[in-house]
């Protein structure tokens, strides 16, 4: 489906760059809103770590989403983009004092707290400002997810969250702190999850934990189940929007919310992955001893997922309709891991051809680096062309 890309406009833009289909993003956001609006008191916070491009943030804000932040910089980006502070949640195992103070000064919705030492620092800083910090405790449910080992977060061996055995004493301790208000529980088991049974397992664990809390006469106002829904990297044209219906239906059927409780989600990848492509230009076609290399001007400094996670991205030659040939698509970085794909079929490729690396809207531009003193790639939306 090369027609979805404005190739004539691309010719004048310096590569590599990220191209975002703003219309697809809006359709994705509308799909999510349509599903969520069927349920009372459900809320979605966009996980900013997936992509903090200012243009995308404004589109997501306009759709009424809140924001899930994991750094002070992300909080600042969301405030600039116009997200109401009352819809910002702030997570992370290592919140520094200035980041906590930033959240307090802006009266964000809540801090997702991951340890007792963090809780006590938040209480101290809130006391100094004469404020009360709203907190939700991130619990580690010890639920595995069928995904890459580097992006699981809900196992006991992971650094995230508070162990379930500590849940009751931690909450009881928090209720004794003068500048802390406990408002909820927070969970997140991983990313790029396509098996709904993983989310069912999370729901069952949350149900057990709520039962345990009620035995101690503890109730909370908000349940936050994080995000994690994956996308189809192999078929971005056929399946451009994630299976939000199955995802939300899983929670609606399995999670036993208490009367008056609100449910919060923190979706990132599933919101923005499919709307983004990394556009790169072919520099050389190199005949190796056993294979043919398509050397492009993008590298793992621009999209690190294949090198870091062995991730698959569909790759298309936007400039050619010739018969396909087999190539290794590689970048210019002085590392052997600078490979986007091996032995894939592309339409016959020549120097100057534009190549699209698909489904790169999440964890692409946001993870770019200046290694080898390379310039960071720009992000351009279809609205801007």
CATH code of 338's domain: 2.40.37.10
Is 306 a member of any domain?
A: yes
Are residues 164 and 196 located together in one domain of the fold?
yes
Is 6 a member of any domain?
A: no
Are residues 212 and 359 located together in one domain of the fold?
no
pLDDT tens-digit profile of 293-320? 999 999 999 999 999 999 999 999 999 9
Number of structural domains (the chain) is 2
Are residues 259 and 380 located together in one domain of the fold?
no
CA–CA–CA angle 159, 126, 173 (5° rounding): 55
Are residues 184 and 56 located together in one domain of the fold?
yes
**pLDDT higher than 80, residue 138:** yes
Is 15 a member of any domain?
A: no
Is 16 a member of any domain?
A: no
Are residues 131 and 280 located together in one domain of the fold?
no
Are residues 237 and 197 located together in one domain of the fold?
yes
pLDDT tens-digit profile of 180-192? 999 999 999 989 9
Are residues 262 and 318 located together in one domain of the fold?
no
Q: What is the pLDDT of residue 154?
A: 38
312's CB contacts (< 8 A; 6+ apart) are 233, 234, 306, 341
Are residues 296 and 208 located together in one domain of the fold?
no
Residue keyed to tokens 């534009």:
354
**pLDDT higher than 50, residue 322:** yes
d(CA 322, CA 296): 19
Encoded tokens for 115? 């340890």
Are residues 262 and 341 located together in one domain of the fold?
no
| Phi/psi of residue 161, nearest 5 degrees | 80, 175
Are residues 259 and 289 located together in one domain of the fold?
no
3-state secondary structure of 215: helix
Query: Mind giving me the DSSP string for 110-146?
Result: EEEE--HHHHHHHHHHHHHHT--EEEEEEEE-----S
Instruction: State which residues form the domain around 375.
Output: 276-384
**pLDDT higher than 50, residue 46:** yes
Are residues 113 and 232 located together in one domain of the fold?
yes
pLDDT tens-digit profile of 72-123? 999 999 999 999 999 999 999 999 999 999 999 999 999 999 998 999 999 9
Are residues 162 and 220 located together in one domain of the fold?
yes
Query: Do the beta carbons of residue 143 and residue 202 sit within 8 Å?
Result: yes
Q: Identify the CATH number of the domain in which residue 100 sits.
A: 3.20.20.10
Is 375 a member of any domain?
A: yes
Is 11 a member of any domain?
A: no
Query: Do the beta carbons of residue 190 and residue 152 sit within 8 Å?
Result: yes
| Residue ending a domain, choose from 233, 253, 272 | 272
**pLDDT higher than 60, residue 157:** no
**pLDDT higher than 80, residue 142:** no
| Residue ending a domain, choose from 224, 252, 272 | 272
| Residue ending a domain, choose from 272, 291, 323 | 272
């Amino acid at each position: 489906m090369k027609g979805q890309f404005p190739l004539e406009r691309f010719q004048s833009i310096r590569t590599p760059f990220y191209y975002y289909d703003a219309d697809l993003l809006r359709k994705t956001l509308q799909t999510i809103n349509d599903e969520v609006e069927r349920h009372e008191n459900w809320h979605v916070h966009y996980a900013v770590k997936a992509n903090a491009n200012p243009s995308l943030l404004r589109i997501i804000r306009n759709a009424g989403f809140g924001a899930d932040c994991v750094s002070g910089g992300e909080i600042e980006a969301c405030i600039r983009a116009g997200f109401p502070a009352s819809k910002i949640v702030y997570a992370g195992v290592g919140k520094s004092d200035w980041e906590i103070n930033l959240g307090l000064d802006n009266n964000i919705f809540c801090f997702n707290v991951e340890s007792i030492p963090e809780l006590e620092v938040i209480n101290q800083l809130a006391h100094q400002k004469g404020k009360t910090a709203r907190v939700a405790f991130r619990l580690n449910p010890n639920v595995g997810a069928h995904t890459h080992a580097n992006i699981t977060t809900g196992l006991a061996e992971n650094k995230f969250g508070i162990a379930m055995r500590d849940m009751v004493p931690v909450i009881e301790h928090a209720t004794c702190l003068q500048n802390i208000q406990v408002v909820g529980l927070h969970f997140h088991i991983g990313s790029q999850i396509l098996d709904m049974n993983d989310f069912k397992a999370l729901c069952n664990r949350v149900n057990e934990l709520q039962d345990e809390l009620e035995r101690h006469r503890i109730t909370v106002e908000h349940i936050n189940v994080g995000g994690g829904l994956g996308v189809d990297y192999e078929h971005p044209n056929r399946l451009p929007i994630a299976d939000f219906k199955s995802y939300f239906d899983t929670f609606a059927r399995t999670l036993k919310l208490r009367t008056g409780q609100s449910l919060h989600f923190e979706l990132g990848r599933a919101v923005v992955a499919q709307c983004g492509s990394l556009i790169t230009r072919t520099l050389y076609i190199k005949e190796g001893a056993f294979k043919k290399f398509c050397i492009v001007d993008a590298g793992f400094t621009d999209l690190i997922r294949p090198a870091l996670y062995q991730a698959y991205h569909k790759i298309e030659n936007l400039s050619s309709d010739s018969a396909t040939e087999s190539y290794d698509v590689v970048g210019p970085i002085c590392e052997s891991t600078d490979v986007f794909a091996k032995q894939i079929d592309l339409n016959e490729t020549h120097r100057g051809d534009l190549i699209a690396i698909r489904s790169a809207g999440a964890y692409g531009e946001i993870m770019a680096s200046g290694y080898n003193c390379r310039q960071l790639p720009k992000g351009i939306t279809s609205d801007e062309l």
